[in-house]
Amino acid sequence: MAYSDQLQSKIDHLQKRSQPLALGSIEFSSPLILAPMASICNYPFRLLLEELGAGGTVSELISAHAIHHGNARTMKMLRLHEKERNVGIQLFGENADMMAQAAKVAQDFGPKFIDVNMGCPVRKVVTKGGGSALLKDPLALGPYLKKIKAAISIPLTIKIRMGWDEEGVNADEIIHVANEEGIEFVAIHGRTRAQQYTGKADWNYLESLKAESPLPLIGNGDLHNPYSVSQRLATTGLDALMIARGALRNPFIFLESMQDNPKEQIFSSVDYLEIIQRLFELICAAFDQDRVRLIQLRKFIVWFAAGFPNASKFRAAAFQNQDLDSLMISTKQYFLSIENRGKSIDFEGVFMNSGHG
Ligand SMILES: Cc1cc2nc3c(=O)[nH]c(=O)nc-3n(C[C@H](O)[C@H](O)[C@H](O)COP(=O)(O)O)c2cc1C
């Protein structure tokens, strides 16, 4: 077993409270799904979060163009862990033929579904016509999705935004095109492309979309803590919820949202240390070079520490560590030194206000 009996029993206790569900033909172990995040949702992090109650996960966005060219680094991004159960691979690209070919390649790595990124606001992606630029022309979307779907035998899904900008809010239209093309579900981030990460996700709009949607809908945006997740879960008409940034500062968010009192902090700093050790093992197995392992692991450790006492001092020290062993030693000292003092995060403050969806 990966975890101590004490931690595993807390995990099992909370995990039992979530219900499996099917979105179309895709089964998830809970309605709370880890959202795709570039350079973050590689298989070590995805597997860790599945072990910590995520009902499913989606990979970081992967370029169809780079798959077409057989780019070695990109091909490694397609890898899944044999223990991952409910994982999708997300692809991006404006060219339907290249997307179809990439989807076929990705399918051979064994995911449950292929997801198309239609929410990325980044200029480099949208100027070529990919990411959220795909929202601009619903008429062209049908043939694009049809080609990708025809290339694979597993389900195809899409992740979108509300529209290009305030005047161009058209998610309802996009969902209808998706339905006609046999898409399995739609995940939607409640902002427009123009908003990037500013303002608040518009959950009223998301809930109203669901009332008319012929397809299962997953809502996403600003569910940063267990309390807001559990509140939304209790009231939403949407079929499932996706969580991105909230899982970086609290990887136990999927489990803690299942409590009767989701404001109570169940997992201690010692539990955080244990999951960091688990992530260390997974990262070491996934990446050969110590430099890459260090860069990968350090960012997670620093995010996980957020909100614990003296976290900023620890963060500064962690960035001084130039090798894995010394990083792990100072991490252990830090998390053990906190004892039972809890975590307190400023959820109103800016935390990662850019990304690819
Ligand atoms: C660092 C970062 C990277 C992201 N990368 C992706 C991505 O690769 N694909 C995607 O569809 N969305 C991506 N997103 C968007 C998230 O999946 C999600 O839609 C957005 O962050 C809103 O959810 P949240 O408020 O729970 O963070 C990314 C977001 C962040 C912060």
How confident is the model over 87-134, as pLDDT tens digits? Answer: 999 999 999 999 999 999 999 999 999 999 999 999 999 999 999 999
User: Catalytic annotation on 284?
Assistant: no
Inform me whether the pLDDT recorded for 200 exceeds 60.
yes
Q: Mean of the pLDDT values across residues 32-60?
A: 98
> Pairing between strand 113-118 and 87-92?
parallel
Name which of 182, 164, 68 is nearest 114 in CA terms.
Answer: 182
Measured CA to CA, the distance from residue 80 to residue 103 in angstroms comes to 15
Ligand 1 probe mutation, 32, 33, 34, 37, most atoms within 8 A of CB: 37
pLDDT, tens only, 274-303: 999 999 999 999 999 999 999 999 999 999
Domains recognised in the chain with CATH numbers: 19-256 (3.20.20.70), 269-337 (1.10.1200)
* pLDDT, the chain, mean: 95
Measured CA to CA, the distance from residue 203 to residue 170 in angstroms comes to 15
Q: Assign residue 154 a region (left: φ > 0; alpha: ψ between -120 and 50; beta: otherwise).
A: beta
**Whole-model pTM over 0.85:** yes
DSSP assignment letter at 122:
-
| Closest-lying ligand 1 atom to the alpha carbon of residue 247 | 26
pLDDT of 1 reads 53
Task: Count how many Cα atoms sit within 13 Å of the Cα of residue 292 in the half-sphere of its side chain.
Answer: 11
The pair of structure tokens assigned to 213 is: 């949607």
- Contacts for 131 with CB less than 8 Å, ≥ 6 apart: 92, 117, 118, 119, 120, 121, 122, 125, 356, 357
| Closest-lying ligand 1 atom to the alpha carbon of residue 60 | 8
Q: Which of 41, 47, 120, 301 is catalytic?
A: 120
The pocket around ligand 1, CB under 6 angstroms, is made up of 35-38, 40, 60-61, 90, 117, 119, 159, 189, 220-223, 243-246, 352, 355-357
Q: How far does the centroid of ligand 1 lie from the alpha carbon of residue 119, in Å?
A: 9
- Percent of the chain beyond pLDDT 70? 100
Q: Mean of the pLDDT values across residues 1-13?
A: 92
Name which of 207, 208, 215, 226 is nearest 176 in CA terms.
Answer: 215
pLDDT of 230 reads 96
